[in-house]
Structure 1
Amino acid sequence: MPNSTVHVDYDLVANGDHITIGDATFTGDSAYPDAIGWLTARAASTGAAVVVRSYDAGTGADTLFSIDGAGTIEAVTGAVSDNAAGSPWEAQPAAPAIPPAPRGEYADVARELRGEPVSLAPAGAPALDPLRAAPAAPTSPAASEADAGPSTRREARQSFLTREEVEEPATQGLRGILARMGLRVSPSAAERAERDWTRLVSQHWPGPRTIAIVNGKGGVGKTMTTISLSSVFARHGGAGVLAWDNNQTRGTLGWSTEQGPHDASILDLLPQVSRLLGTGAQSADLAHYVHHQTRDRYDVLRSKPEVLATEQRFDATTVDSIHNVAAKFYRLVFIDSGNDETDPMWLRAIERADQIVVPTIGEAKAAESAALLLEGLHARGGHFADLADKAVVVVSKHKHDLPDAELTKMASGFSGLARDVVTIPYDKGLGADVINYGGLRPETQRAWLAAGAAVAKGL
């Protein structure tokens, strides 16, 4: 709009999560999308964009914007003239009933206003809730006595120290647009969930943690899962993440990741184990043997797929040696495994793991292999059963034409076999020769973040 006199159609006053537009009132967590849906519907009914003057009672921000029937918001500049009611802040008359939902990105808002169900999460987002509450424990006699009242003055006194934390305003979607325009808008439930997932994967645990990526069938996404999870934890939690190709039969982790300024592999690292475990070794010394991922910030320890297994025959002792070095210099170690569940390297990696991730694609044979592995580990008892109980299963949509309902059905089949199941949408970037996490679609990155959060809960 030109920088001239502007006629205001509606006045919006925001006070936290309480919004008024004339006689219309919107409250609660959905106040902002409800209000924008209301304005979108008004614009759709008139066939032209409406101009809104918004005032935030908390910050004092005074903003002009326009919104059309498709929900498109644009900033408006110019001097404000008196509106039809005679004053910029005089209440507007009640508007007519809301017309049918407009097409566009705010159609969900209009449906919500009519009482229809609306999903808060983006399409394709995994059904994972890292904030899932544990059932309340039964009240014990000791707890009842504790509820009787404080026994000392210290217990009776309220501490002067508080841990109040102001929530950051919304940054995503419609709420983010409004926040950037000066309104104090709280994040949506979907954005709050994503923030919590980010907090979980950003943690640093006391002592190193090892995660083994396992499935006895090939071609089910083990290497893809290793790369994606390593990227999530390194991007959000910082350095100290190693992806290790623990496969002596054509392991391809090195082929799917960025190569450093050398071609070193596990074969070059093994003769240096004693020196690296010595007191004079430094973390920078590992740069001779691992390949740093400059965009995703983790390191890769390659196998040598060009060499036959008979020429690089490793055993449990080899795994112990490499793991001792990895645990000394890295806080998180992701082990990409082979397909032979009887291989001493495979078994020792499981024994060393703090958690396992079992990937599968949306294919019956791959899913059955994953289920049999979990059942087999549980039957062995002890540490193996514990790993199976808290395992995370990742079900990836490997074909674009695979129905989402089929993927969801397959994921539900792991209920009772693992602690969490996460689905990953189809993304051609996951099939690239070199997987670049930053090149994945936003919904795919969000799904892998949710998968990382599920893993983090078990560490």
Structure 2
Amino acid sequence: MIHAQLEADGSAIVTVDGQRQKLRGATVDDARTKLTQLATSTAAAQKHPIQFTSTEPTGTYTLIAHPDGQIEQAQPTPPVPHMPAAAAAAAAPEAPAEPEATTTRRSLRETSFLTTDPMHEPATQGLRGFLTKAGLKTKPSAAEISERDDIGAVSQHWPGTRTIAVINRKGGSNKTPTVAALSAVFARYGGGGVLAWDNNENQGTLGWRTEQGPNSASVLDVLRDQERLLADTARQADIDGYIHHQSQDKYDVLRSDENNEGDHEISAHEVHTAHSIVEKYRRLIIMDSGNTARAANWRSMIQHTNQIVVPTTTMEDRAEAAKLTLQTLAARDEHSANLAENAVVVISEWKSGDQKEAQRIQALFEGLVRTVVTVPYDPAMKAGRIRYGAMNPRTQRAWLAAAAAVARGL
């Protein structure tokens, strides 16, 4: 019998016939592979199957290694056999005879031979995924099923364009990184058609944190050519000369006016016009915003919004501003109040070691909004261009959960 305790860092303590030894892998998967090799070599040396148990961060698994190198799952202990039918009948008290059932004709309309398939595809992650690769089709874990559910949520398409507004009246609250991360998740899993729009009243920063296309266009160029873009003869690709495609993350960016010497402020009418244009070309619009909830372009953005996301960091003034932003919406009108009630709050850890503060802030927001999601600290979010593939796996999973929470409100 072999017992192993695998840690998240790939280290393990293995007990073989009462003798303890250390095992080291680069990851949990690597340690599991080494454990399996140890079990199969032991089985080959002893010339009979060996049962081994692996206790991991995701659960405890019992397997059998065969001398020929095959691995199988250990069968659960069979249930206690039932009493033979004849003995059970003899022991049972006599009961009144049941009346013979009569057959009733069923309706053809109410009968169907189609069934819903409840089966999950085999596991691809962790030990279960390892067993799938070894030829044993293993059911996915609860964590993998949850991830698949989130992917399904963000992969759906809706009838008509949906608009998400990312808002917080405090600068530095992680609005722009939130827009970029959510856009990447929706575009990667949903097949594109996602536009990130920097709706700052003058000059925003979304263009600084994302890839620039082969043009220098902004929302002002879209407004200038509105007749051409709204014409019945306009083609789907006509919008591509005004946006900036993100080659890795598959979404597009509509930049704000980046003229440092300019003084143009986007008006409410211009937001309405620009929205009528871009919704013709894209299925999902995720809008970055400025810091002034009283600004005309901010208020007109809310009129088009189906779901709001309120980002904050683990700095308490950002969290307070997030609450005040929700409070402003709740008091404004019925549509804004509904958005506030069904908001998704995303808490991004500002620095390593902020987990406790994130938990404190999350506890305060829960009950005020529909969903609260915490994103762990990740250097890839702090500076430079934001790319989903550069984030740590835990960060990617958190943004997938955030996007799925948003999708479920659309």
Does TM, scored on the shorter chain, surpass 0.5? yes
The residue that corresponds to 1:364 in the other structure is 316
- Which residue of the partner structure matches residue 223 of structure 1? 176
Q: Is 1:238 aligned to 2:182, yes or no?
A: no
- The 3 A distance-change label for structure 1 pair 455 and 254 is same
> Alpha-carbon deviations, 1:48-95, whole Å to 9, x = none?
699xxxxxxxxxxxxxxxx989974349999x86946xxx46xx7x99
> For residues 351 and 59 of structure 2, what CA distance do their matches in structure 1 show?
31
2:408 matched to 1:454?
A: no
Structure 2 length-normalised TM: 0.79
C-alpha change, 1:263 and 1:107, in structure 2 (3 Å) is closer
Q: Percent of pairs identical after alignment?
A: 44
| Distance in structure 1 (CA, Å) of the matches to 2:272 and 2:32 | 64
User: Could you say which residue in structure 2 is the equivalent of 1:412?
Assistant: 363
Report the equivalent of 2:107: 153
User: CA 1:81–1:218 in structure 2 vs 1: closer, same or farther (change >3 Å)?
Assistant: closer
- Name the structure 2 match of 1:437: 388
Please state whether the residue corresponding to 2:205 is helix, strand or coil: coil
Matches of 2:46 and 2:37, distance apart in 1: 20
Once the two structures are TM-superposed, the CA of residue 172 in structure 1 deviates from its matched residue by: 1.1
Kindly state the Cα deviation for residue 169 of structure 1 after the two structures are TM-superposed.
Answer: 1.0
CA contact (8 A) 1:319 1:348 kept: yes
SS in 1 for 2:346: strand
Cα RMSD (Å): 3.2
2:16 maps to what in 1?
43
Residue 423 of structure 1: which of 374, 387, 392 is its match? 374
**Cα offset, 1:44, TM superposition:** 8.2
Q: 1:73 aligns to what?
A: 36
- Secondary structure of the residue that 1:380 maps to in structure 2? coil
CA deviations on 1:88-119 (whole Å, 9 max, x unpaired) are 46xx7x99xx9xxx9xx836646x99xxxxxx
Does the Cα contact within 8 Å between 2:162 and 2:284 map onto a contact in 1?
A: yes
**CA–CA separation in structure 2 for the residues paired with 1:151 and 1:379:** 59
- Identify the residue that residue 334 of structure 1 maps to in structure 2: 286
Kindly tell me: are residues 363 and 107 of structure 1, through their superposed partners in 2, closer, same or farther at Cα, counting changes over 3 Å? closer
Following TM superposition, by how much is the alpha carbon of 1:396 offset from its aligned partner in structure 2, in angstroms? 0.4
Q: Which whole-Å CA distance do the structure 2 matches of 1:75 and 1:180 have between them?
A: 18
Aligned counterparts of 1:77 and 1:71: Cα–Cα separation in 2: 10
Q: Which whole-Å CA distance do the structure 1 matches of 2:44 and 2:357 have between them?
A: 57
Query: What does 1:188-199 align with in structure 2 at a 5 Å threshold?
Result: 188-199=141-152
Equivalent residue in structure 2 for 1:299, among 252, 262, 265: 252
- 2: CA distance, partners of 1:328 / 1:359: 28
Query: Taking structure 1 as the reference length, what is the TM-score of the superposition?
Result: 0.71
**Once the two structures are superposed, what CA deviation does each residue of 1:281-302 show, in whole Å capped at 9, x if it has no partner?**
1121111110000000000001
Q: For structure 2, list consecutive stretches of 5 or more residues without a partner in the other structure.
A: 7-11, 24-29, 63-103
Greater shift, 222-231 or 374-383, is seen at 374-383
SS at match of 1:243: strand
Deviation at 1:154, TM superposition (A): 4.0
Equivalent residue, structure 1, for 2:276 = 324
Helix, strand or coil: the match of 2:396? helix
Return 5+ residue gaps in structure 1 as ranges: 1-8, 11-23, 25-32, 34-38, 51-66, 114-149
Residue 410 of structure 1: SS of its match in structure 2?
helix
Q: State the partner residue of 1:120.
A: none
For residues 268-291 of structure 1, the C-alpha deviation after alignment (integer angstroms, 9 at most, x for no partner) is 221111111111111211111100
